Amino acid sequence: MLASGVLTTELYHRTGLLASLWRATADLTMAVHIAHTYANGQTISFNKMPLQLTKPAPQFKTTAVVNGEFKDISLSDYKGKYVVLFFYPLDFTFVCPTEIIAFSERADDFRKINCEVVAASTDSHFTHLAWINTSRKQGGLGPMNIPILSDKSHSIARDYGVLNEETGVPFRGLFIIDDKQNLRQITVNDLPVGRSVDETLRLVQAFQYTDKYGEVCPANWQPGAKTIKPDTKAAQEYFVDAN
């Protein structure tokens, strides 16, 4: 019996369904995939279709720490702006403060190009605040120039496909969301390696350039560098100059 996105393991084994079951919704319009199975095999849970670039980013609303205070934040608050949403595993850890501080210190560079940076983890907002109030010399964050979301229910990390279901913490997922709230870029790092603020800023600038001018950005493009007109004949100008 299939109900509310849950399939009993008895039916699962009886029908021989594979680990991914497509078109399982009533109207057969959305693909689903298995997110987690319990060790004792009572239920199999299903999530929505995986994220797709150029499609709407999953909406969320949750409590964040903003300028040292608690505030409810939703993705819709940022309509009309680009957003860099990045997940990190845990407060009071090792790589995480280096990333968060680096993005916070460059937040004004992003704002200059109409982009907001938002961090998120599955810690509570109380833990976030305690970490912010801890000295950087002791592994804390200190004053922050970006909001830090609390995803204590794990729902946001799960919707964005970065939650490690076994540990309950997210991988280092980073998402660039455009001013129409569509996904434009997805990067997910394993836990040991942090991300590049410079590369993230470059990507936002590149997507904004293509939005405005309709041309495409070649490898290692930087603002002010040549771009390519997406036309067979016109593109020859770029290739002749580049080679």
Residue-wise pLDDT for 173-223, tens only, equals: 999 999 999 999 999 999 999 999 999 999 999 999 999 999 999 999 999
Average pLDDT, integer, range 59-88: 98
- Looking at mean pLDDT, say which of 2-6, 27-31, 135-139 comes out highest: 135-139
Angle value at C-alpha 184, between 111 and 146, nearest 5 degrees: 30
Dihedrals φ, ψ of 222, to 5°?
-130, 155
The span from the CA of 58 to the CA of 198, in Å, is 25
What share of the chain has pLDDT > 70, as a percent? 80
Tokens (6 digits) for 120: 């998120």
What share of the chain has pLDDT > 90, as a percent? 76
Whole-number pLDDT of residue 5: 43
**In the CATH scheme, what is the code of domain 61-195?**
3.40.30.10
| Neighbouring residues of 119: CB distance < 8 A, sequence distance ≥ 6 | 86, 87, 88, 100, 103, 146, 147, 148, 149
With a cut of 80, say whether residue 118 has pLDDT above it: yes
Entry pTM = 0.80
Catalytic residue among 85, 96, 156, 204: 96
- The verdict on whether 115 is a catalytic residue reads no
Query: What percentage of the chain's residues is helix, strand, coil (to nearest 5)?
Result: 30, 25, 45
Dihedrals φ, ψ of 163, to 5°?
-80, 130
Torsion of CA 192, 105, 163, 2, to 10 degrees: -160
The residue extents of the domains of the chain are: 2-47, 61-195, 197-243
CA distances from 217 to 5, 85, 177, 182 (A): 41, 22, 18, 19
With a cut of 90, say whether residue 225 has pLDDT above it: yes
Whole-number pLDDT of residue 233: 87
Whole-number pLDDT of residue 180: 98
